[in-house]
Chains A and B, each alone.
Chain A
Amino acid sequence: MTIIIDRTRERPAPSGPVSVAERQREKARPKGLYQARVPIYPKLVHGPWRWLKWALLIGMLAIYYITPWIRWERPGGLPDQAVLVDFAGGRFYFFMIQLWPQEVYFITGLLVMAALALFLVTALFGRLWCGYACPQTVWTDLYIHIERLFEGDRNARMRLDAAPMSFDKLWRKTGKHAVWIGIGFGTGGAWIFYFHDAPTLIRTFWVGAAPMTAYISCAILTFTTYVFAGHMREQVCIYMCPWPRIQGAMLDEQSFQVTYRSDRGEPRGPHKKAEGWAGRGDCIDCNQCVVVCPMGIDIRNGSQLECINCGLCIDACDEIMDKVERPRGLIAYDTDAAVAARCAGQKSKHKLVRPRTLYYAGALVLVSGLMIQGFRTREEIGVHALRDRNPAYVQLQDGSVRNGYTLKIANHGFETASIEIRYSGIPGAVLNSPGQPASNPLVVQVEPNRVTPLRVFVTAPAAEDEEGSEEAAFSIRSENRTQVVPTAFEYGSSPQ
């Protein structure tokens, strides 16, 4: 069953009273090229979704602030910070994992996985990311909370903004902005600890001895946090963020979203205590869903670009439903298909398994599998063989031919590795490395956590005065693992 909700046509003007937000919107309809911002004063609401948002806010901020301080013992002079992006040393540390710059594809893979997981969750449950996890909404939530502490709830804030400047207004506004900037500074300050040793940086930062990038990053993030979460808020989501526009491609009529159950709510209208409920909907048009909305929208207009799926209107409506003694859930996480089915008098069904969700889940499993496989088979010792090209070969006095190579041996581990190098493909070839004791196979000690360049030479008897190139290979054995690095052996008589 496909339901087409046509939003391109003008909705008929609602017969009931027009919401405050709608009236404000009407006033602010664009008259030129720019839309004036309608100030939003979200009201505090209580309920399970609000509690979930508080819990996630505290949890995620705790992860953000505490992570750089977790210590993780590493051998030698390596940093002991569990999570560290070490630009100077060219390493990314994540607990037991250590990534080199050339392994950045693991981070790419992680981002691809995150994107696919986001697609899957959006197809199933709507924009949960926007409502609960996005830094923009989390920090905005925190800033609105600070605003309430200084200026009171919705009505007090509206009065305060309308009032002329006074000492009371001045200190409340000043205090609010000071705390906002403080939080912004804390945000930027925590960010830089991911790039330097945190205990060292926190000392050097205050005495002006930290790297300039730390101060600049901190200043930029302080500024953006203060501006985005304090001043721009929902405008970031509506005008700057691409996700509200992209998510339309993931959502369908079976996606769970914050939904006004119009089948139950309409026709809406004010309700007096003495009246019955027959012949009318449960919505008493109290506007509570609108005043609590941090995006300033009316969820009763259906799913819309601005909605971040946070569920605060659910809590607000449930509170009212309890008061008027109607069942909860007039606004709830529901699907468009279910609403349409009930409108048509059928039983609503939820379908989580759909082609769309299967595609996303399949892609996610595939990419995760590739990532895990790539990580499992990651070589502790990586070898590249660079063949000398000038001259490509040298003929020796006895007629034999010598080729020179530079082996770049990367030891990703934390311990010195002993490796055996063999050369195959050329009969009678002898391998040597200047400065290393002669042995067969060539045994070399490779220092940990760095790339060791090794000059090696292969000397082989060659057919007289014949030029050509043979396929050959280095095989490198370390701790029972052998890897083969293909190369070539060039020969001919000396040009002189």
Chain B
Amino acid sequence: MTDQPTSATLRRTPLYDEHLRLGGRMVPFAGWEMPVQYSGIIEEHNAVRNDAGMFDVSHMGRFQYYGREGVELLRRVCTYDIGLLAPGEGHYCAVCREDGGILDDVYVFSLPAEVEDPVGRRYLLVANASNAERIRDWIAGRKGGLNSRFQDRHESTAMIAVQGPAAMGVLTGLLGEEAVRSLKPRRCGLYFWQGEEVFASRTGYTGEDGMELVIAASMGPVLWRALLDAGVSPCGLGARDTLRLEAALLLYGNDIDESVNPFEAGLGWAVTLDGDAEFVGREALLRARDAEPKRVLACLRAEDRGVMRPGCAILRSGEVVGKVSSGGHSPTLGVSIGMGYVPPQMAEEGTELTVDVRGRPLAVRVVPRPFYRRPKPQVNA
């Protein structure tokens, strides 16, 4: 048997019909039938860099944890201390095995509450589509006697990411000026749109400003069409990948997996080791923090024509020193870029390396992370 499900077993998001209507090219992805592109990857990529684009991210897992000890359950599994999150705050972190290997990288939000809920704060955990069920079950297995409750919002809601320099303007029209102005980066809020509750967070996976919205599944297509009418370009998985790679954001399964710990992946900022949260993998990560890593993730930029792809060997003086974990063509920079694990002394900026592109050598250079940083917004004095 293979892991590749046939099209009959692929899951569809609430926006599936919208993708077909817009001519999206549907492909299997992590068990879901998702659009890889509509008009073309470069056009969609540029829409997000220069204007506003939107992505159906309903395939990502959405799980709510609440109850008196809901926060304690999350503190047991997240590398960042979720107890530090005030209502309306979110943080990126990893969920690790006992040995520090990364089971998934997730975003956890503490949902805002007007008044303190007597049954405890409510948290939303967003997991990768490829890991969603595994993470849900794994967290459930760590519950023990904790008084925590769980709600699976994966199929009952749709999730849309709206990204790009024009995104916040469009969202102002939808959610209102006050909502958008008060929502700072990495924070979240609950709003109403057409009588329906919308969760919005100032987060994304493109390197641009914007929000990720969660709404009842039945209202997903209505919101999608409203965004379309407001001039937001639909974008597929292809552009999502080129955008996140330029921003040097990691992709689970490519850049991180169970064989990598957060420090090797440059995710030390998503690990809290000075608090009292006894999360799974803490001991291993304490050791990893204090040890010299054997390898670290480096950003590589091609010096010549050619495209590095995942799996290509990275060489130094003819010797293999690593492997490209993510790689492709950067529409913004016009050259190939990629990431890969190499020994720390070879991850220093400016180091010249070679990538073996199916037998052809491609000269690359280690560059600072990220490849692309959005221009600072213009402030009118």
Q: Do A and B come from one complex?
A: no
Q: Which A residues are closer than 8 A to B by beta carbons?
A: none
